[in-house]
Structure 1
Amino acid sequence: MPATDNQSSFLNRISIRRNQVSSMEHDQENENIELFSKHVVDYFADLLPSHTSSTTNADPSSTSLESPAPDLHPDLLSICWFQNLLDIFLCCEAEFKAAVVMGRDPLHFGKPPLDRLIPELLDRAVKALDVCNAVSSGLDLTRQWQKLAQIAVSSLEQKPIGEGQVRRARKALNNLLTSMMLDDRDGNYHGKGTDRSWSFGRRGGGGASKNDRTGGSFRPLSCSVAKSWSAAKQVQAMSSNLVAPKAAEQTGLASPVYIMSTVMVFVMWSLVAAIPCQERTGLQTHLNVPRQLEWAKPITVLQEKIGEEWKKKEKRGAAGVLDEIKKMEKLAKSLVEFADSFNFPLEEEKVVEVAEMVAELAEVCQKMEEGLPALQLQVREVFHRIVRSRSEILDVVDQNGKASLPPVLY
């Protein structure tokens, strides 16, 4: 056989082998994306009020990098529920990086549609950091409310209840309700205090230069968040360019980027709705998850339920949709009514009624005392995870930028 025939046959085998490897890599990529999408469904289905564990019917061979595996199914919008929500966010974030970032050829990030979607994701992450800071400040305020409620509980647990104890409880509860009822639409939010440096270094299109990152974390810039900063507008900005991939892009890397972006926006939206944050007017209209996508169904159900609670919150002028806050506010109002009409000695029936309300408020205070510090730590963990992941993605983007530069000739 002529040498040219041997060479042609050899090149054909190489070409076939390359096509086979490329096809296998493509199939693996699609499998990872599908698995990520399935886990998002399972995770958020666990948060639904009428929970039926989707993991019982799950493929035993499909395992995630981290599993939230909540031991309990707490009440919707309780502190424990939000702890599970943040655990799920961290799991989704870890799986997203495994499916999209780790081991990825940097050249992928320079091609459409990732050349547009990745910078948008990075910019969305910066805005999420500001929201985390606002929520952390709101949790500080909520812990102050818990302390005021605890003062009232300690006073009204005294037996017999005298005028001194009632006056002390009334003062604490009035301070609590006054703080809760300040209208954040008028800029009276207690937690905002003075301007703070929240935003972090960013490069055009959502990136950041190497000088903006030190030791794997972000260096805050000198700019401050103005008193006019709005949590609702921040969430709106995060979702403004959140568009579902086109039909031709739904099987590629655009899909997991969109899923992770939606998860991030939903989590931040939920936190702002639950925890007192600076300026939340119109928050309900700032998130729109497409119902037709299979992975988004449990998120849309949760969005509707939180939206219903938000409508009640705006109608009442309440502080947030966190379950413990709602219960605390209701009990505080009832106990203030009791204090205003207090006459010594109390009738036995009234003693029993007050004791029940005080016991219920004590239970709420206990849940908040145990849960709020842990929730605040989780918010900080989410903050640092977003910072770290953003830095890792930027490293890949930087590698792509260097690879695309023309060679230097000496």
Structure 2
Amino acid sequence: MVNDSQGSFLNRISIRRNQVVSMDGNHEQELEDIELFQKHVADRLADLLPPPAAAATADTTHEPFGGEAILSIAWYRKLLDAFLCCDAEFKAVLLMGRDNSQFGKPPLDRLILELLDRAVKSLDICNAITHGVDLLRHWQKLAQIAVAALEQRPIGEGQVRRAKKALSTLLSSIAVDDKEQNHHGKSTERSWSFGRRGNKDRNTAAPFRPLSATIAKTWSAAKQIQAMASNLNAPRGGEPTGLALPIYIQSVVMVFVMWALVAAIPSQERAGLLTHFPVPRQFPWGQSLIGLQDKIGEEWKKKEKKGTAGLLEETQKIEKLCQSLVEFAETFQYPGEAEKVEEVAGQVADLSEICQRMEEGLVPLQQQVREVFHRIVRSRGEILELTDQVGKVSAPVPY
């Protein structure tokens, strides 16, 4: 989804790439493009933060279920939209109307290689997240079975047993440690992205096909994030080219988005997931990103100790409601206490609402993750083509 500011930004750069400008004018335009890119990134990250009043009074254990509450499905869809917009503008800044020879010189040669490596690791995370959403859809179906049983009037012992069986299966699946998680009976091996430099994406026209081969059982989402963030260093003041900055910005955005997805969606081996990575506060987008990191990091520290399967708002609420309904089922005797049955009816209504939100949001979320996957593939391919051209130009001519 391209908003007006992004469309204007991309149109301007597209026009400028066909214009002949002086070197000084080109440098000034480059600085202006980078500044505008920073502003748009800052605006999108700020838009992901909860309003100040809500942040000051929020109590996530008692607040009513909100459509775009931070860490909800709707919020993650908004996050992925922001990433796609940032990626489009980043490529415009990096590739359009540039002197390509600079990409073969330090520090850009090293920074681009690091960016390409992060892209490959991001593809692996997208694959793991796609399978994680499948698991969430399985949990949703189990919750819906319980809702259908407990909505019956009067509630009989048969309906309660059916609901208890579905809810117990759901809670057992949620409680499984990430390392042992087997996606409700399937192999722990997951989908694995392409890995080598020359391997191009062949399935961009078929987004609902499997993204590729199989992830090894030793693959770790936490280690993948750690590797992506390990060399994430802000450009020094003496960097000879301004393009080091947008590469850094897009790298930070990419790592943050993948980290946030792993924290929320069931993924293979998340033990030891980073709670934050360093981000300088002086950048226009720094404060917003640090605020988002702090919020997600605090939640992860609390939930990691309990062995729960992620921070997604809907998952947390389903887990809490299911535990209460299982307790009800274990002590139920027909016809049941009127007051307790009324209380359970309210909980069932809440569970039904969450199931509806998952029904409406999980498939589009999974589609967005796949879109991010294919966008990263295309962007990586375009940058590789550029660096290959630079390599051919700089190579000595054989005699």
Same fold (TM over 0.5): yes
Output the CA distance in 1 between the equivalents of 2:160 and 2:125.
39
**Which structure 2 segments of 5+ residues have no match?**
1-20, 54-65
| 1:221–1:155 CA distance, 2 compared to 1 (3 A) | closer
The answer to whether residue 331 in structure 2 is matched with residue 345 in structure 1 is: no
Instruction: Give 1:356 deviation, angstroms.
Output: 0.2
The answer to whether residue 293 in structure 2 is matched with residue 303 in structure 1 is: yes
The answer to whether residue 72 in structure 2 is matched with residue 78 in structure 1 is: yes
2:200 to 207, 213, 231: 213
Contact 2:83 2:257 in 1 (8 A): yes
The answer to whether residue 391 in structure 2 is matched with residue 397 in structure 1 is: no
Match of 1:188 in 2: 181
- Aligned pair count reads 362
Contact 1:49 1:75 in 2 (8 A): yes
2:226 to 236, 246, 253: 236
Read off the aligned partner of 1:190 and give its amino acid letter.
Answer: H
Q: Deviations over 1:115-163 (max 9, x none)?
A: 1000000010000000000000000001000000000000000000000
Output the CA distance in 2 between the equivalents of 1:335 and 1:142.
19
1:109 to 99, 103, 108: 103
Read off the aligned partner of 2:238 and give its amino acid letter.
Answer: A
Output the CA distance in 2 between the equivalents of 1:155 and 1:324.
20
Match of 2:7 in 1: none
Read off the aligned partner of 1:403 and give its amino acid letter.
Answer: V
Output the CA distance in 1 between the equivalents of 2:112 and 2:168.
49
Match of 2:62 in 1: none
TM-score normalized by the length of structure 1: 0.84
The answer to whether residue 47 in structure 2 is matched with residue 46 in structure 1 is: yes
Output the CA distance in 2 between the equivalents of 1:243 and 1:358.
49
2:157 to 149, 157, 163: 163
Output the CA distance in 2 between the equivalents of 1:268 and 1:357.
33
Output the CA distance in 1 between the equivalents of 2:211 and 2:127.
15
Instruction: Give 1:290 deviation, angstroms.
Output: 2.7
Match of 2:318 in 1: 328
Read off the aligned partner of 2:225 and give its amino acid letter.
Answer: V
Instruction: Give 1:201 deviation, angstroms.
Output: 3.5
The answer to whether residue 114 in structure 2 is matched with residue 124 in structure 1 is: no
Read off the aligned partner of 1:188 and give its amino acid letter.
Answer: Q
The answer to whether residue 361 in structure 2 is matched with residue 368 in structure 1 is: no
Instruction: Give 1:311 deviation, angstroms.
Output: 1.3
Equivalent residues in 2 for 1:196-211, closer than 5 Å: 196=190, 198-202=192-196, 208-209=197-198
Contact 1:173 1:336 in 2 (8 A): yes
Identity between Structure 1 and Structure 2 (%): 63
Output the CA distance in 2 between the equivalents of 1:250 and 1:353.
66
Read off the aligned partner of 1:297 and give its amino acid letter.
Answer: Q
TM-score normalized by the length of structure 2: 0.86
Match of 1:261 in 2: 251
Q: Which has the larger radius of gyration?
A: 1
Output the CA distance in 1 between the equivalents of 2:243 and 2:350.
50
Equivalent residues in 2 for 1:247-258, closer than 5 Å: 247-249=237-239, 252-258=242-248
**Which structure 1 segments of 5+ residues have no match?**
1-19, 53-71, 203-207
Read off the aligned partner of 1:106 and give its amino acid letter.
Answer: N
Instruction: Give 1:111 deviation, angstroms.
Output: 1.1
